[in-house]
Structure 1
Amino acid sequence: MAQLRQALLHNPTEHGFGTELWTLKRVGMLIKRMYGVEFGQTQIWRILGTLGFSAQKPERRAIERNEEAVRHWKQNTWPALKKKPSAKAD
């Protein structure tokens, strides 16, 4: 089990997966590769819990995001684009 824990501490891309996100399916594939055993997703979930892992939600921001540019846009550009209440013609 210690080998599996070590393997999971590396990025999934280092194990040949396309993105840097571990899923139950990918963990199951890794277990099968390492130990030749298949488990259902519920059991994989339990194994991960035993190893000290918990569910994580990925951040919904681009890695390349420039915080300073975003802050500048929000302070300067956005207020000019926001709709302003029009004067009622009564």
Structure 2
Amino acid sequence: MERELARGSLAHGWADESQGWTLNRIRLLIARLFHVGSTVQGVRKLMRRHSWSAQVPVRRAIERDEESIEVRKKVVWSQIKGRRSTWASTSASRTRPGRG
């Protein structure tokens, strides 16, 4: 199975390589190769059992400016967020406000 997954989804007939392997595609591949039916949840558990994990695409926008992103995270976001007034936990309840 790992050998077939390593060949890629394009080799198995899915033209949109940008999506790569999805759980549904792996489920269909298992059905084709081994003539075994399974659910998407079952495929997810099987993949986790064999140490495969969900992957995020590596591609980034050409216009992406890493330097301005770091400045925004460090400077702008810290100004917006501010500091906590106390170490005590807060409450979202309107009737029982948090201490601090």
TM-score by length of 1: 0.60
**How far apart in 1 are the matches of 2:53 and 2:60?**
21
Match of 2:11 in 1: 14
The worse-fitting range, judged by mean Cα deviation, of 10-19 and 51-60 is 51-60
1:54 equivalent to 2:53? Answer yes
Mapping 1:2-81, distance limit 5 Å: 4-20=1-17, 21-61=20-60
1:78 is aligned to none
**Number of residue pairs aligned between Structure 1 and Structure 2:** 64
Instruction: Give the distance between the partners of 1:41 and 1:23, measured in 2 at CA.
Output: 9
Q: Percent identity?
A: 32
Deviation per CA, 1:24-47, whole angstroms, max 9, x where unpaired?
010001000001111111100011
Query: Unmatched 5+ residue regions in structure 1?
Result: 72-90
Structure possessing the higher relative contact order (Cα contacts under 8 Å, 6 or more residues apart) = 1
* TM-score, normalised via structure 2 length: 0.55
Question: Over aligned residues, Cα RMSD in angstroms?
Answer: 2.3
What amino acid is the match of 1:9? A
**Which amino acid is 2:58 matched to?**
E
